[in-house]
Amino acid sequence: MQNDTQHNHDTLWKRLTRNDITTLLLRLLSVFLIMGLLKVAFYVIDKPLFGPFNNLHEFLDVAKGSLLFDTMSILWANGLFILLSILPFRFREHRWYQVMLSAVFLITNIALILLNSADVVYFAHTMKRLTLEDTHFSSNSNNLPIIFDFVQRNLTLIIISGIIIALLLLAWKLIKYHPTKITNNRRYYLYNSIAAVVVALLCACGMRGTFNPTRPWVKMEQAAAYSPEKTWLTLSNPYCFMRSLDKATEYDQVNYFSTEEIEQVYSPIHHIDSCLYDLRHRNVLVFIMESFSKEHSKFLNPGLYHNEKGCTPFLDSLMQEGYTFVNAYANGMKSIESVPAILASIPSFKTSFATMPELFADFEAMPELLAKQGYQTSFFSGSERNSMGFEEISQRFGVQHCYCRDEFEAVYPVNDSTIEPFWGVYDMPFYQFMADEIDKMQEPFFASVFNLTSHHPYRVPPDYVDIVPQGHTQEQRVVAYTDLSLRKFFERVKTAPWFDNTIFVFVADHVAPLCYDPHSYTMKGHSSIIEFIYTPDSALRGIDSAIVQQLDIMPTILGLVGNTSPYFAFGRDVFNEPQRHPIAFNCINQMYQCITDSSTFYFDTKNIMKSIGQTPKKEELDYLKAVLQRYAESLTNKDYTVMP
């Protein structure tokens, strides 16, 4: 009798622990463990960007948040596998069905591993995880060589990913399939139908990130609540990617002020009656410099390079003779975000403005406004035409002529000293080509150039490998090469008839991914860039310690050349608009970073999540709120002009 009881208990235990549902749970548990290993690898490899954990409480908060977002990622990714696993039919027990399940499971989760591994490298370059908007370069012809270079430069990560994939395969092999042992068909279908409904409901809650049906889905920006500095560590993919599928345009549609109230706080419409400087009819040449962080300059960081020249000796010499902004900040984290900020004074926040459908609207950007004043307008980039999207964007802003790799190759030789295998023309020959083309232009002209060589994978021409200094990071060597290229350009054009009549503007697109100065790894430091204006006749000269941003370039240049017509811009004219706050803002870690002369604070549209320095002033927070509201209004209305 006792043996029969024990046998019944054993049978009941096996039924409870060895069935289709427990097999599914164990298989999903193995994916959770895999995601945990990926998260550890992410943190260890990109630790300089995240910084150490301040205390145990922060570590536990990040772990809690990671579990939430990993759950959402795993359930979204494995939705098909879960559905096939809970179908309440006996054909699940057939070998062919389990083979099909194994294929679905392994393909899905190997893709999940590769996607999160790619995040490790992508985050180092953009300070964000992969989302839908980052696929706009997927058709570029240079993708294959870049992938090969990625593999060569990240062998450690490749090996780690391979080990994790091997662990996934091992887990599948070790977790044996145990079918539900119920012989009675009615009971079998009833039990499995109820189990399927319960699992489906739990998965639906897990996919939404909440058990409360009245609450909305957990949003990406809520990850900042666990740790502002480690938001992207808390998040995971494919959650970030899938959440962006229904958000080709993502911006916060906020409404803080009434129409009358917001007019008193901030307006993107500029009215300049008189200008401090009169540089009318001067040419304008804007150098948008890839990855030129503030830390590269010895002039801006004398304590960082004691017995060294730094990476930008030529630019440093121009800064001493020009008008230099020592507290300048980027409005975005990617190259594609800098062009609208600089040429049109339009920021990018949670989504790059250049990838949004709202780009296709009426503009009065700097090139178009200058063209109306008789300027010939041009844009130069050594990449293949439209491979970076710069040409299409600049033409939307009123640029009349674009010069790319195609135009260069029509007149210059193509060899290892002129063309690099990834992006296009090396900076040295391309700047010389640009000088030739500018010599042909009628004055006044506006031209802008985006250089390539200081971009990953950081190659210099063979002739210059032993000439430029190595620097402290991979970027610093190519930054030094670009600085030398600028020196050669100026030596070439300093006797040109247009040279003395030109305003030269130098501004970085964003901060370099790999940093030498520890401050550059902070959220504020990761926005700190080189920005200055140079005029050969010293019409502008000085050091300006006020906060400036890329958005300020368009208003400032328009003021310098004497524009008095109203125009639309989110920045400020640093010389002629003292009533506007000297402020810089961007979006980092899914929060709005606002930098003022006394504080830096992080805002999530409702609350200040963190502040550094003095307590943020009410008028500063109101100013940021008004900017966000005006931005949302402009995007909603697709209008970036002065209303008649």
CATH of the domain at 349: 3.40.720.10
> Could you tell me if 532 and 342 are in contact, meaning their C-beta atoms sit under 8 angstroms apart?
no
74-106: pLDDT as tens digits: 999 999 999 999 999 889 889 999 999 999 999
Q: Is residue 480 assigned to a domain?
A: yes
Q: Is 269 part of any domain?
A: no
pLDDT value for 7:
47
Structure tokens, 120: 């490790």
| pLDDT-derived band at 516, boundaries 50, 70, 90 | confident
pLDDT of residue 122: 79
**Residue 194 per-residue DSSP state:** H
Domain region containing 233: 2-243
Quick one: 135 and 223 in the same domain?
Answer: yes
Examine the domain organization and report whether 307 and 445 are in the same domain: yes
What is the number of structural domains in the chain?
A: 2
Say yes or no: 324 and 422 in one domain. yes
Does residue 62 carry a pLDDT above 80? yes
Confidence of residue 72 (pLDDT cuts 50, 70, 90): very high
Q: Do 234 and 338 lie in a common domain?
A: no
* Helix axes 155-174 and 143-153, enclosed angle (nearest 10): 80
For 227-239, the three-class secondary structure string (H helix, E strand, C coil) is CHHHHHHHCCCCH
Segment 386-414 shows an average pLDDT of 88
CA atoms within 13 A on the CB side of 178: 18
Residue 272, in any domain of the structure? no
Q: How many CB atoms lie within 10 A of CB 432?
A: 17
In DSSP terms, which residues pair with 59 in a beta bridge?
A: none
Count of positions (residues) in the chain: 644
What is the residue-averaged pLDDT of the chain?
89
Whether 298 contacts 310, CB under 8 Å:
yes
Considering the domain boundaries, does residue 52 fall inside one? yes
| Rama region for 291: left / alpha / beta (φ>0; ψ in -120 to 50; rest) | left
100-200-183 Cα angle (round to 5): 65
Residue 258 resides in a domain: no
Given a contact cutoff of 8 angstroms between Cβ atoms, the answer to whether 432 and 426 are in contact is: no
Could you give the angle at which helices 20-45 and 79-86 cross, rounded to 10 degrees?
Answer: 170
User: Rounded to an integer, what distance in angstroms lies between the CA atom of residue 196 and that of residue 203?
Assistant: 10
Task: Give 289's strand partners.
Answer: 508
- Is 615 inside a domain boundary? no
Query: Nearest Cα to 623, choosing from 595, 581, 569?
Result: 581
Same domain, 110 and 166: yes
Parallel/antiparallel/unpaired status of strands 591-595 and 584-588: antiparallel
Same domain, 219 and 297: no
Give the Cα separation of 586 and 590 in Å (integer).
10
Query: Are 184 and 287 part of one and the same domain?
Result: no
Measure the CA–CA gap between 549 and 22, rounded to whole angstroms. 56
Which CA distances in Å does 121 have to 43, 45, 151, 457, 513?
Answer: 11, 9, 11, 12, 10
The residue among 389 and 441 whose pLDDT is bigger is 441
Identity (one letter) of the amino acid at 590? Q
pLDDT band at 8 (very low <50, low <70, confident <90, very high): very low
Please report the pLDDT score of residue 357 as a whole number. Answer: 80
* Average confidence (pLDDT) over 368-397: 88
CA neighbor of 411 nearest in space, from 393, 395, 433, 392: 433
209 pLDDT band, cuts 50/70/90, is: confident
Q: Are 143 and 198 in a shared domain?
A: yes
Looking at residues 364-381, what average pLDDT do you find? 95
Identify whether residues 26 and 171 lie together within a single domain: yes
457 is written with which tokens? Answer: 């994978």
Number of H helices, E strands in the chain: 21, 17
Q: Out of 225, 243, 261, pick the residue that ends a domain.
A: 243
Residue after which a domain boundary falls, among 197, 223, 243: 243
Task: Please tell me whether residues 396 and 475 are part of one structural domain.
Answer: yes
Per-residue confidence (pLDDT) for residue 135, from 0 to 100: 64
pLDDT tens for each residue of 324-357: 999 999 999 888 899 999 999 999 998 888 888 8
Omega before residue 457 within 30° of 0, cis: yes
- pLDDT band at residue 179 under the 50/70/90 scheme: confident
Among 539, 436, 428, smallest CA distance to 487 is for 428
Q: What is the pTM of this model?
A: 0.85
In this structure, the answer to whether residues 347 and 455 fall within a common structural domain is yes
Answer yes or no: is 450 within a domain: yes
Separation of alpha carbons 622 and 578, rounded Å: 18
Clarify whether residues 171 and 288 are in a common domain: no
In a domain, 222, yes or no: yes
The Cα–Cα gap between 644 and 642 comes to 6
Q: What is the pLDDT of residues 221-277, one digit of tens each?
A: 788 888 888 888 898 888 887 776 665 457 888 999 999 999 999 999 999 888 899
